[in-house]
């Protein structure tokens, strides 16, 4: 029977399992496969761990390995499935490698973002993963590397200069939407969303890729800042592509009330498959949130392991669905 009067150590587990303390450490830290530990050895260690109800001394582990096994995560919000999927992707990846997470939300506030960084750094996190607050949709609000004080940083959703980043290839998805509409015979097309005079923001790149593809295909495109601006002229167009799911839903509801739903092909950028607002069959472009989170976690782990890393741009997923139809098809007969 184990001696429960004294807290067991790795050496205790190693002695009882008949292996070295290093082997126990490899197993407990999730490196059994990397160091090719036999399944029988892993089972033997786990039986002793269970018998002693052993839990690692995280402080001692941090002192020994010069790591806290803590990662600071600062994301925009946690209020809906978009952010939840993003967080779950990185959480699963980091936890599988033995890391724990300190998490905060910026709520699109640069001061909150910086405060979270400073607090987490004071707690000794090994690195950061964050979704940057963007000024004018163009540049991050602050230099995370200065605030991180030497700890590695990975960004999600937006590119950050000199920081490994994981973000969706928006232009590629917008070109795919434009090509789909052209193939269905649409020539009078609207884009609903922001566009700056500089043409340099993350918002701008969606519209510019969409417009360039349509112009090359001989179609006209008009840009409207909001759904309200577009609705007064909705009858002038056969198709509309919305920057956000919010505008797409407002337009869809308006058309339902006015009986014009079958006269306009409608595509939304954003949202998730779990969103009940999409039960109506709206065509959409979905960002792979869970994949982005997982990739960001993997980048940070690779940095911890001393590997070279680079920015990753996973593709968005375009789902045509029922809200797109061919121009020459009978009204109300949707084509997918």
Its pTM surpasses 0.95: no
Look at residue 267 in the predicted model and tell me its pLDDT: 95
pLDDT of 187 reads: 95
Q: Which residue has the tokens 């490196």?
A: 31
Looking at the predicted structure, is the pLDDT value of residue 300 above 50? yes
What values do phi and psi take at 315, rounded to 5?
A: -75, 150
Alpha carbons 324 and 44: distance in angstroms, whole number: 59
**Are 203 and 193 within 8 A, CB to CB?**
yes
Closest of 121, 110, 112, 130 to residue 150, by C-alpha: 121
38 vs 23, 26, 28, 32, 42, CA distance in Å?
11, 12, 14, 8, 6
**Which of the four pLDDT bands, split at 50, 70 and 90, describes residue 260?**
low
pLDDT digits (tens, 9 = 90+) for 221-241: 999 999 999 998 998 999 999
170-286 CATH fold: Rossmann fold (3.40.50)
Mean pLDDT of the chain: 87
Domain ranges in the chain are: 10-56, 67-166+289-305, 170-286
* Cα distance between residue 18 and residue 298, in whole Å: 33
Among 188, 123, 121, smallest CA distance to 149 is for 121
- Between CA 61 and CA 228 the distance in angstroms is 58
Residue 192 has pLDDT above 80, yes or no: yes
* C-alpha pair distances (Å), 216 with each of 171, 175, 203, 220, 230: 15, 11, 21, 10, 23
Task: Quote the pLDDT of residue 275.
Answer: 54
- Report pLDDT digits (tens) over 139-172: 888 888 888 888 999 999 999 999 999 999 999 9
- 3-state secondary structure (DSSP) of residue 160: strand
Whether 191 and 241 have beta carbons less than 8 Å apart is answered as yes
pLDDT band at 1 (very low <50, low <70, confident <90, very high): very low
* 272 has a pLDDT exceeding 60: no
* Sign for the pseudo-dihedral over CA of 211, 183, 282, 234: positive
- Comparing 12-21, 56-65, 173-182, the range with the smallest average pLDDT is 56-65
Report helix, strand and coil shares of the chain as percent, to nearest 5. 45, 15, 40
Q: Which CATH architecture has domain 10-56?
A: Orthogonal Bundle (1.10)
For position 28, what pLDDT does the model report?
Answer: 80
pLDDT of amino acid 331: 46
Average the pLDDT over each of 229-233, 241-245, 254-258, 299-303 and give the range with the smallest value. 254-258
Q: Does residue 307 surpass a pLDDT of 90?
A: yes
Fold adopted by 67-166+289-305:
Rossmann fold (3.40.50)
Note the pLDDT of residue 11.
Answer: 86
Query: How many C-beta neighbours within 10 Å does residue 85 have?
Result: 19
What values do phi and psi take at 104, rounded to 5?
-140, 160
Both structure tokens of 80: 């809906």
Question: Quick check: 101 pLDDT over 60?
Answer: yes
């Amino acid at each position: 029977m184990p001696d429960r009067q004294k807290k067991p150590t790795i050496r205790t587990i190693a002695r009882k399992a008949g292996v070295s303390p290093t082997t126990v450490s490899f197993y407990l830290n999730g490196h059994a496969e990397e160091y090719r530990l036999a399944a029988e050895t892993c089972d033997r260690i786990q039986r002793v761990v269970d018998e002693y109800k052993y839990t690692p001394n995280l402080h001692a582990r941090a002192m020994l390995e010069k790591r806290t096994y803590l990662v600071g995560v600062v994301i925009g919000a946690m209020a809906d499935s978009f952010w939840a999927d993003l967080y779950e992707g990185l959480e699963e990846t980091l936890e599988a490698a033995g890391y724990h997470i300190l998490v905060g939300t910026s709520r699109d506030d640069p001061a909150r973002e910086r405060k979270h960084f400073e607090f987490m750094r004071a707690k000794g996190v090994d690195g950061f993963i964050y979704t940057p607050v963007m000024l004018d949709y163009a540049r991050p609000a602050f230099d995370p590397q200065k605030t991180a004080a030497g700890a590695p940083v990975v960004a999600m959703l937006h590119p950050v200069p000199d920081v490994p980043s994981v973000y969706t290839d928006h232009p590629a998805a917008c070109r795919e939407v434009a090509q789909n509409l052209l193939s269905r015979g649409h020539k009078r097309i609207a884009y609903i969303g922001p566009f700056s005079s500089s043409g340099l923001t993350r918002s701008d790149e969606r519209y510019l890729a969409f417009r360039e593809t349509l112009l090359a295909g001989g179609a006209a495109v008009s840009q409207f800042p909001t759904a309200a601006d577009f609705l007064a002229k909705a009858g002038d167009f056969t198709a509309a592509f919305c920057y956000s799911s919010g505008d797409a839903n407002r337009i869809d509801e308006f058309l339902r009330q006015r009986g014009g739903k079958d006269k306009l092909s409608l595509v939304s950028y954003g949202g998730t498959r779990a969103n009940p607002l999409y039960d109506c069959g709206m065509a959409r472009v979905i960002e792979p949130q869970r994949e982005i989170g997982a990739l960001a976690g993997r980048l940070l782990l690779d940095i911890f392991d001393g590997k070279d890393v680079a920015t990753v741009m996973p593709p968005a997923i375009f789902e045509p669905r029922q809200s797109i139809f061919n121009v020459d098809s009978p009204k109300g007969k949707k084509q997918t």
